[in-house]
Amino acid sequence: MPHIHPKTTPIYQTSVFTFDDLNELELYFGQPGQSYMYTRYGNPNTDELAQEVNKLESGVGAVVTSSGMSAILAAVLAGCKAGDHVLCAEEIYGGSSTLLAQELTRVGIEVTFVPSAEMYTLDNYVQPTTRLLLAETMSNPLLQVFDIARLAQETKRQSIKLVIDNTFATPILTKPLALGADMVIHSVTKYLSGHSDVTAGVVICKEQEDLQRVQRVMMVYGLNLSPFEGWLASRGLKTLRLRMKQHSSNALQIAQHLQQHPKVEKVWYPGLEEHPQHELAKEQGQGLFGGMLSFRIKDDTEAVNRFMQALPSIPFAPSLAGVNTSISYPLGTSHRALTAEQQQKVGITIGVIRFSVGIEEPEELIAELETALAAV
């Protein structure tokens, strides 16, 4: 058979790899990373994805997982056991808070949510058993931007780890490890893959010890990603830089347009000068502000329904970051599990709509929004 040099890695759609003899098996255990045995432990496609994301985030290595949620789980379990304590930003993706508050508490990990205003001085929250702080570069869905260098300074002072969910920003805007974070997580499902056809996650580590722990949790808990999903995500990743530039420039134009609209009461987008962390976001995001924004029309369910129904082609899809624009409704999807009091506290009211800006022509998107807002 001729020697084959594929330009793109083929899909290794196999659950298991073979050995010639016992010597080859011993080599597998003696020199890790030289060969493969079982896809739950590692596969060329998922390894390629891990290596490419790690390169973008400048870590010592990365571990890919079956979803963004399993990436968060792997990062937390890598450093925590029963009896340990975790801090989490109060304003965070609803799924993250549900995982921590409803599931990990059942296995003996204690959780405290820290209000945004107190994130940089954790004296009132850190206990002897506190192991880590989890926060997002840009919060979901109201786009609060955290100063990662300041968070890192405080977590180092407290001798706890800083875990940053960088899904909204991506390494094109912000590299949290370079700013002092210990671990970075992504829902690869979103921007890294970018085409709304993959469910995957990744954890990138600064220290070899953390990497080995995350790797072990992934393998033992069976949080691995399938070869095909790994291949698809690697394919999507190739255009990440181009996509993020277009997402960002579109979102800025749309945020500015919505800000002037009489039927829009408020717009949350770090690219607007009125945004409380605008200067920080500009510096931390290399002048790009990402493709996510939220806005509020009047707090009336029927008005929201009329808006959604009048959109000519933008779908209501409870996810984000695809090349195609979509809208979501935090109150009814991502933050549904929160109590009414918690929802009010973080500012998620009936009229809040989250807008995931795609890479289409901005004029087309603005025309769609005009049509829908006219129906409100």
Q: Give catalytic residue positions.
A: 40, 93, 165, 190
Pick from 240, 234, 242: nearest CA to 7: 234
CA-to-CA distance for 267 and 256, rounded, in angstroms? 9
Can you tell me whether residue 310 is helix, strand or coil? Answer: helix
CB-based contacts of 26-34 (< 8 A; 24+ apart in sequence): none
CA-to-CA distance for 111 and 86, rounded, in angstroms? 5
Residues in the chain: 376
The structure tokens listed for 110 are: 């204690």
Contact 148, 180 (CB under 8 A): yes
CA-to-CA distance for 75 and 181, rounded, in angstroms? 13
CA-to-CA distance for 373 and 206, rounded, in angstroms? 46
Beta bridge mates, 119: none
CA-to-CA distance for 246 and 194, rounded, in angstroms? 12
The structure tokens listed for 348 are: 């998620």
* Helices (H), ranges, the chain: 22-30, 44-57, 68-79, 94-98, 148-157, 170-173, 208-221, 227-237, 240-260, 278-284, 301-310, 340-346, 362-375
C-beta atoms surrounding 277 within 10 Å: 16
Contact 189, 319 (CB under 8 A): yes
